[in-house]
């Protein structure tokens, strides 16, 4: 079983279209939430979201190929190219090496914008006007496929689709492949672009979204008494996972080490977490067991922390159940307070944020935590980032259908 390290990171988020821009805004406690500009949301109960701003795919995708990629795939390819370059991997690697490099990109919904646009074409102009690029752009595995084509990756390639745990499952499964020697290098993470008329209408119909239209910057407020639902976000986060000996042999810079992976299901409800966060408890416990980690070594948890009434309480209860008295000595924060909830991309983005937190010895804050819910009584790093050298950190991702993932990362040294 090989040790697995993170050697490259790529981010496209509501905080910025690059790794540096996203991290800088995160530690500065900035919010990426604002009025929806991607479509006319005047008639919607929720009229704001965390959109990616200032993004252009053309530095990463040839102009002639843009029509083949839904917005979520454009985000994925951009983040993957950034991560590849950040890892210092050469563009001219021989095929024999590329045969052992793969990509797993999680997505919760897929090409929803493409589906909606082509459905309008079908209704308005008829079936013969639907583009031949419709299916290739819409299907959920195409982000991973486009990443492979862009970078010439000839190893294992597929998509994990597990709602809001998709990106975290992708990182966990890639970790296993490298750990067990099936691949030397994997690109893994998540991508999502579901801020569309149907996407927002669907989550509004479930009463899942915040409706704080008068102050959208304050709408995502995990663990706050005034929280009223999550804020939709979009973007991508891709990590380069590499066998440690392989990384050291080529002199790569190492952001962090992946040391544990836990995955469970509640088997309880379509959307609601199990009582006491039972499935989340087991995911965290499995990640700790997988990495042979003493719970007392964990100093930080990048929580799922969606700003939903039930989810925040149950995750807090799960953390207390797993860590006991130590739960009140470790730091917990929700970067979703700034990025919104990136759905299938969240796990990849938040794994990248966790690696950065370990490397830079800086814990991202939870903003908008002005009136803590009495049921949520942990140290949530309120309002501003905190300098702290942490040995081990967890990142949690939970999704509809009761799926739960915890990744454990350690500071490399």
What positions carry a catalytic annotation?
164, 304, 341
Confirm if 15 and 199 have CB atoms less than 8 A apart: no
Tokens of 347: 């796990």
For 336, phi then psi, to 5°, come to -65, -20
CA distance 394 to 22: 20
CA distance 102 to 158: 9
Provide the Cα torsion 403, 73, 235, 212; round to 10°: -80
Confirm if 306 and 314 have CB atoms less than 8 A apart: no
CA distance 51 to 43: 19
Between the two ends of the chain, the Cα-to-Cα distance in Å is 19
Q: 329 CB contacts (<8 Å, ≥6 apart)?
A: 379
CA distance 393 to 357: 9
Confirm if 135 and 68 have CB atoms less than 8 A apart: no
Q: Which stretch of DSSP H or E encloses residue 11?
A: strand 4-12
Residue by residue, DSSP assigns 321-332 as HHHGGGGGTSEE
Give me the helices (H) in 152-276, please: 166-179, 197-205, 244-249
Provide the Cα torsion 34, 37, 43, 45; round to 10°: -30
Tokens of 293: 């980690």
Three-class SS state of 101? strand
Confirm if 33 and 340 have CB atoms less than 8 A apart: yes
Tokens of 181: 């020697």
For 104, phi then psi, to 5°, come to -130, 115
Residue by residue, DSSP assigns 222-242 as TTBTT--SB-BB-EEEEEEEE
CA distance 131 to 291: 48
């Amino acid at each position: 079983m090989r040790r697995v390290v993170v050697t490259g990171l790529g981010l496209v988020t509501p905080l910025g279209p690059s790794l540096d821009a996203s991290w800088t805004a995160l530690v500065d406690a900035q919010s990426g939430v604002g009025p929806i500009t991607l479509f006319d949301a005047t008639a919607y109960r929720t009229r704001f979201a965390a959109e990616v701003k200032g993004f252009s795919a053309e530095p990463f995708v040839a102009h002639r190929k843009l029509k083949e990629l839904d917005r979520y795939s454009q985000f994925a390819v951009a983040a993957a190219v950034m991560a590849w370059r950040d890892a210092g991997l050469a563009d001219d690697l021989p095929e024999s090496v590329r045969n052992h490099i793969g990509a797993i990109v999680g997505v919760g919904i897929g090409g929803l914008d493409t589906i909606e646009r082509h459905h309008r074409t079908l209704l308005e102009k008829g079936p013969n006007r639907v583009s031949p690029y419709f299916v290739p752009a819409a299907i959920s595995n195409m982000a991973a496929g486009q990443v492979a084509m862009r970078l010439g990756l000839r190893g294992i390639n597929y998509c994990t689709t597990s709602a809001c745990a998709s990106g975290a499952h992708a990182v966990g499964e890639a970790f296993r492949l490298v750990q067990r020697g099936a691949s030397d290098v994997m690109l893994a993470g998540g991508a999502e672009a579901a801020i569309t008329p149907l996407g927002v209408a669907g989550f509004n119909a479930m009463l899942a979204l915040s409706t704080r239209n008068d102050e959208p910057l304050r709408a995502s407020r995990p663990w706050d008494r005034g929280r009223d639902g999550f804020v939709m976000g979009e973007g991508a986060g891709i990590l380069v996972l590499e066998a440690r000996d392989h990384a050291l042999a080529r002199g790569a810079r190492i952001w962090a080490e992946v040391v544990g992976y836990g995955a469970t299901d509640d088997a309880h409800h379509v959307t609601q977490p199990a009582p006491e966060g039972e499935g989340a408890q087991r995911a965290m416990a499995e990640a700790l067991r997988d990495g042979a980690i003493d719970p007392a070594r964990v100093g930080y948890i990048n929580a799922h922390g969606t700003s939903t009434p039930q989810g925040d309480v149950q995750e807090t209860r799960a953390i207390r159940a797993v860590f006991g008295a130590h739960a009140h000595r470790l730091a917990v924060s929700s970067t979703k307070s700034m990025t919104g909830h990136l759905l299938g991309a969240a796990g990849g983005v938040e794994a990248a944020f966790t690696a950065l937190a370990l490397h830079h010895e800086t814990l991202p804050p939870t903003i908008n935590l002005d009136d803590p819910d009495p049921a949520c009584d942990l140290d949530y790093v309120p309002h501003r980032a905190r300098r702290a050298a942490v040995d081990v950190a967890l990142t949690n991702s939970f999704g509809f259908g009761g799926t739960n993932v915890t990744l454990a990362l350690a500071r490399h040294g």
